[in-house]
A and B are shown apart, each in its own frame.
Chain A
């Protein structure tokens, strides 16, 4: 009994506090260890805006648009200046993103934009709408303070060490975009992990409809004189694609845009882009095109915008 007592005391007085201290140190490490180079990407996009002499069209949205749509190709195709202002994780919340657009493009610049393409995966992911509402992250993906929970677990880093010891401190850093704001594939190696291919759809009509209404309202306030294109992005799900759910989701989105147009007397164009096929058209996620995939998706978009 005496032996058990001392083991218990040792665990209680030394092991548990050491674990707690270790955890606090890890939280600090996690706080200062941002992985995706968001700040560099945002700064470059702002620089592109300041350097542009007149902007005719903008691409807005999340990483799907960053990877898979090309402002450069649209500029060449239309002979008008396009910029890609999409951000990774679409700025982590809608509020962050609209504030970014509002602050980086002044009112005069926005009023001269004639075409806006908005491509978001938010309504395609289960619970993503409410996740973005709840998000505590800023535009860069940082927390406002050292929280009680890390963004990645210690287990995640241990797994990294197990796979490759050198990966532990290596950041998965996305390269800076080009002068149009497009993703620079020449400095990035595409590699798809099987675990990221998870088919999802948000089929909650009310949630989706409210979200579409909110996003389009914001777009109309920001770009009052533009043609708005609400784009459902291309994706690659291979065998796990559920066509039935895809059709249900598309119908909800199409009806939501139609309803918005009706009650606001507007004409927002709804575009559904085809799925990526074959898999070589995607990079590191079902919504991120490869270099070839971006050409294909941008041409598909141009074709649909003309129709």
Chain B
């Protein structure tokens, strides 16, 4: 019953904050209907809990969004779509990934209505398959829950609205193909994706916590990492868990770890949609990951950090641009001067301030990663009353409706 109640809260909140009532209603209802349909379909065909049927169903569900993007029903997920193009399939990637995980990992022969209401919660359809890991802790008083979780909400709003939203005004840099513009855009876009997605995840973490439901932290200060492996442990953790269960563990049982890693990254790439740049990104990141493992084994100083920086920026450059000819041009790294800096400087003051704030937050995560409040990787350094006061005061001063505040992983 409580998941129906939480679903209803999610639906009402989503409808209240959206501008197109009919479209939003479709976006709220269709995941629920599709999830029920999938539940019946899986339960009918998997009456005897046959392993091969379970696996087929799980992988079909996981790659459903790859197929819809291949046939043009959904867009690919580069991160720059501000509006879902197909409301009927809103949130498809997240609820199918969640259901795929449930089909394969729970060893239950049947999905049930609780699974459906958990996975189709409108709150959670923009933050990844996080609904899988909800635990109840209402035994704690509302006051204690509020004191602990409300700071997460404040930090989330700051990331999402004050830092990320004005950065969308810099997106036109994607069109420039010279090396400086390309790297600058990749760095800003990485910052945008992180602050947008992490901010939204922290908001939902805070709201659910106050309601008495604990979900995992979807981001764990990825920029507090000193190598690529640590980085991925802190980035979109709910999807990482699904990928590990669906791909890494089965592949590792039969192949080397390198093959398993490549499989995971290719699966992740295809989950974002069927596009050449994603496949290049998958291969590139898998290669960087494997190289990092070897470098760490040989204990070469600083090299893991250099690989991390290259992988993150270059990876984002590849990931963000689905126009193949433009991407190839970018990857020639042609130098035409520092015009991009001039373009950046001519942008609105709000965007420049957001950029500065974003890089400051990331710098704190990185340079103070071994300090007491940062090393726990749960944003504790931003949750002390004095830091919260600074964040709120800055937020109140800078808040405006400039830029787009869309859920970067919620729209295709």
Contacts and interface: CB of A to CB of B under 8 A. Distances in A.
A198 B172 CA distance: 11
B82 A153 contact: no
B392 A19 contact: yes
Contact of A127 (B171, B388, B389): B171
Contact of B385 (A12, A23, A153, A156): A12
Given A8-B385, A11-B388, A15-B389, A153 B400 contact: yes
Given A149-B161, A197-B346, A200-B172, A16 B400 contact: no
B83 A11 contact: no
Given A11-B389, A15-B389, A245-B175, A134 B83 contact: yes
B13 to A, nearest CB: 12
Q: Do most interface residues of chain B lie in helix, strand or loop, or is the interface mixed?
A: helix
A32 interface: no
Given A136-B19, A240-B346, A150 B401 contact: yes
Interface residues of A, number: 38
Interface in B361-401: 384-386, 388-389, 392-393, 396-401
A150 B389 contact: no
Nearest to B348: A195
A240 B350 CA distance: 21
B347 interface: yes
B56 interface: no
Interface in B85-127: none
Nearest to B175: A203
A236 to B, nearest CB: 15
Contacts of B384: 8
A19 B393 contact: yes
Contacts of B393: 19
A218 interface: no
A23 B396 contact: yes
Nearest to A200: B172
A162 interface: no
A245 B171 CA distance: 16
A77 B276 CA distance: 56
A3 interface: no
Interface string A108-133: 00000000000000000011001101
A154 interface: yes
Interface in B17-46: 19
A197 B345 CA distance: 12
Contacts of B401: 147, 149-151
A203 B175 CA distance: 8
Interface string B147-180: 0000000000000010000001001100100000
Interface in B60-95: 82-83
B404 interface: yes
Nearest to A135: B19
Interface in A143-166: 147, 149-156, 158-159
B349 interface: yes
Question: Taking each of A20, A22, A155, A240, which has the highest tally of chain B beta carbons within 10 Å of its own beta carbon?
Answer: A155
A11 B399 CA distance: 21
A16 B398 CA distance: 16
A286 to B, nearest CB: 12
B163 to A, nearest CB: 14
Nearest to A248: B175
Contacts of B388: 11-12, 16
Interface string B238-278: 00000000000000000000000000000000000000000
Contacts of A28: none
Interface in A161-197: 194-195, 197
Contacts of B398: 153-155
A7 interface: yes
Nearest to B151: A12
A194 B346 CA distance: 8
Contacts of A153: 350, 397-400, 402
A134 B397 contact: no
A150 B398 CA distance: 10
Contact of B399 (A16, A23, A133): A23
Contacts of B397: 153-155, 158
A28 B162 CA distance: 20
A201 B174 CA distance: 12
Contacts of B399: 23, 149-150, 153-154
Question: Taking each of A8, A12, A153, which has the highest tally of chain B beta carbons within 10 Å of its own beta carbon?
Answer: A153
B148 to A, nearest CB: 12
A12 B387 CA distance: 11
14 contacts: A8-B384, A11-B386, A16-B389, A19-B389, A19-B393, A23-B399, A26-B396, A126-B171, A130-B82, A151-B401, A195-B349, A197-B346, A198-B346, A240-B342
Given A12-B388, A158-B397, A198-B346, 15 more contacts: A8-B384, A11-B386, A12-B385, A16-B385, A22-B396, A26-B396, A131-B404, A134-B19, A150-B399, A152-B400, A194-B346, A195-B348, A201-B175, A240-B346, A245-B175
Interface of B: 19, 82-83, 161, 168, 171-172, 175, 342-343, 346-350, 353, 384-386, 388-389, 392-393, 396-402, 404
Interface of A: 7-8, 11-12, 15-16, 19-20, 22-23, 26, 126-127, 130-131, 133-134, 136, 147, 149-156, 158-159, 194-195, 197-198, 200-201, 203, 240, 245
Top 8 closest pairs, chain A to chain B, by CB: A153-B400, A126-B172, A8-B385, A11-B385, A149-B401, A136-B19, A23-B396, A154-B397
